[in-house]
């Protein structure tokens, strides 16, 4: 039965502490109710699974490559591009009239081994990066709606630019240069800066705001901000998320909740997704979606879930404990988190 996946369906409207749980279940797909693009981070091999692709097509209208548009995959060897996986995701999206959000042109954690060992001059390094960015952006011009140009350029503490290979070899203005190079390659694609922690880390948020102000003062092209939503059911506070969103809305940028997952077992103490944990996740997803709904329509770039099924989530390997951070379980059945999104509308 389709709705058995909402765990136990005998809910009351008010629980302890007057916390809301669904009393009437909405039997709709995510994209049926969303008034903005609803996206999913995918891997090319997952899309060959019929059950997986069926769920994707039913629920989503936007795709992001979880791994296969990163530099270490696209350029595994010097002067050698591997387009196979990225092209297959693009082809799937084109067949089904889905949007593609590109992720990501530059990230310090996806540097190919040979680039770390590059022995050329700094000027040669800069030319190499420019050529890479423009080659990728040009190849997918007209096929990719938006790009995360640079990902996670700032340190977690102090608001400092991250001491990355790109910062060391190109300089403190490397982020601005990357946006300029991307714009030269495709005048129409939307350009985003993407980072985590902006909704709870004050120093990092302030650093990004300063960067945006510098961009404006120096005519550096940027269209939007990606607020990674790797969060938990009790952190960050909804009020802090609202405040951060307002700061970026005030600057007229498009807002992308770019990597949504909601952990419910951050301490690793739970051994299963209990009814209580599922309801906590429901409430957080509903709150996040309601916050996103307050953004002016023209500034909504969409919400992208960072994975389809709990057992495929990156959080398992990264945090090293059980968790159930996504909207579907390993059997492709909807969880209460799915209902939380729907209830926000």
pLDDT tens digits along 126-174: 999 999 999 999 999 999 999 999 999 999 988 899 999 999 999 999 9
**Distance separating alpha carbons of residues 158 and 156, to the nearest angstrom:** 7
19 pLDDT band, cuts 50/70/90, is: low
Interhelix angle 174-185/202-217, rounded to 10 degrees, is 50
Instruction: Report how many helices (DSSP H) and strands (DSSP E) the chain contains, helices first.
Output: 13, 9
pLDDT band at 328 (very low <50, low <70, confident <90, very high): very high
Residue 15 pLDDT more than 50?
A: no
Task: Give the per-residue pLDDT at 23.
Answer: 63
289-298 average pLDDT score: 98
Residue 32 is among the residues annotated as catalytic for this protein: no
Residues 309-315: contacts with CB under 8 Å, at least 24 apart: 310/273, 310/335, 312/46, 313/261, 314/66, 314/261, 315/230, 315/261, 315/263
Number of structural domains the chain divides into: 1
CA distances from 8 to 5, 21, 232 (A): 8, 12, 22
HSE at residue 52, side-chain half, CA atoms within 13 A, is: 18
Q: Which of 59, 66, 152, 279 is catalytic?
A: 152
Round to whole Å and give the CA distance between 225 and 209. Answer: 10
CA geometry: angle 225, 245, 257, nearest 5 deg: 50
What is the tens place of the pLDDT at every residue in 259-282? 999 999 999 999 999 999 999 999
d(CA 250, CA 108): 29
Q: Is 30 exposed, middle or buried (0-12, 13-18, 19+ CB in 10 A)?
A: buried
Count the neighbouring beta carbons within 10 Å of the beta carbon of residue 321.
15
Say if residues 241 and 304 touch (Cβ distance below 8 Å).
Answer: no
pLDDT digits (tens, 9 = 90+) for 44-97: 999 999 999 999 999 999 999 999 999 999 999 999 999 999 999 999 999 999
* Cα–Cα distance for residue pair 317/328, rounded to 1 Å: 18
User: CB atoms < 10 A from the CB of 177, how many?
Assistant: 18
Mean pLDDT of the chain: 94
Instruction: Decide if 259 is catalytic.
Output: yes
Question: Cα angle at 313 between 308 and 319, to 5 degrees?
Answer: 160
CATH of the domain at 96: 3.20.20.80
DSSP-derived letter for residue 198 is: T
Longest pairwise C-alpha distance within the chain: 66
User: Which residues span the domain enclosing 46?
Assistant: 2-343
Q: Determine the angle formed by the axes of helices 275-293 and 238-249, rounding to 10 degrees.
A: 20
Token digits of residue 78 = 């010097």
DSSP state of 108: T
The total number of residues shown for the chain amounts to 345
User: Cα angle at 67 between 120 and 105, to 5 degrees?
Assistant: 45
Is there a contact between 134 and 81 (Cβ–Cβ < 8 Å)? no
**12/263 Cα distance (integer angstroms):** 24
- What mean pLDDT is predicted for residues 284-310? 98
59, 68, 259, 279: the catalytic one is 259
């Amino acid at each position: 039965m389709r709705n058995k996946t909402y765990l136990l369906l005998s809910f009351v409207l008010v629980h302890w502490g007057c916390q809301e749980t669904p009393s009437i279940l909405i039997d709709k797909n995510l994209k049926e109710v969303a008034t903005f693009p609803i996206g999913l981070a995918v891997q090319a091999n997952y899309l060959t699974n019929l059950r997986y692709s069926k769920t994707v097509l039913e629920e989503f209208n936007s795709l992001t490559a979880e791994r296969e548009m990163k530099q270490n995959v696209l350029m595994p060897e010097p002067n050698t591009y591997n387009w196979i996986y990225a092209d297959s995701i693009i082809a799937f999206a084109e067949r089904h009239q889905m949007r593609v959000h590109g992720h990501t042109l530059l990230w310090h954690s996806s540097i190919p081994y040979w680039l770390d060992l590059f022995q050329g001059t700094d000027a040669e390094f800069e030319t190499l990066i420019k050529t890479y960015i423009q080659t990728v952006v040009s190849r997918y011009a007209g096929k990719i709606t938006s790009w995360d140009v640079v990902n996670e350029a700032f340190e977690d503490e102090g608001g400092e630019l991250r001491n990355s290979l790109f910062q060391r070899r190109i300089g403190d203005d490397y982020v601005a240069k990357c946006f300029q190079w991307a714009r030269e390659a495709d005048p129409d694609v939307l350009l985003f800066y993407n980072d985590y922690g902006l909704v709870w880390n004050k120093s990092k948020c302030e650093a990004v705001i300063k960067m945006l102000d510098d961009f404006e003062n120096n005519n550096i092209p940027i269209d939007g901000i990606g607020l990674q939503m790797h969060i938990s059911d009790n952190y960050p506070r909804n009020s802090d998320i609202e405040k951060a969103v307002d700061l970026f809305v005030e600057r007229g940028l498009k807002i992308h909740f770019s990597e949504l997952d909601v952990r419910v077992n951050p301490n690793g103490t739970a051994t299963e997704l209990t009814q209580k944990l599922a309801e906590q996740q429901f409430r957080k997803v509903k709150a996040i979606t309601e916050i996103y709904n307050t953004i002016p329509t023209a500034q909504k770039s969409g919400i992208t879930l960072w994975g389809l099924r709990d057992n495929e989530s990156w959080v398992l390997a990264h945090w090293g404990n059980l968790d159930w951070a996504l909207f579907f379980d390993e059997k492709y059945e909807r969880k209460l988190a799915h209902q939380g999104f729907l209830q926000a509308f």
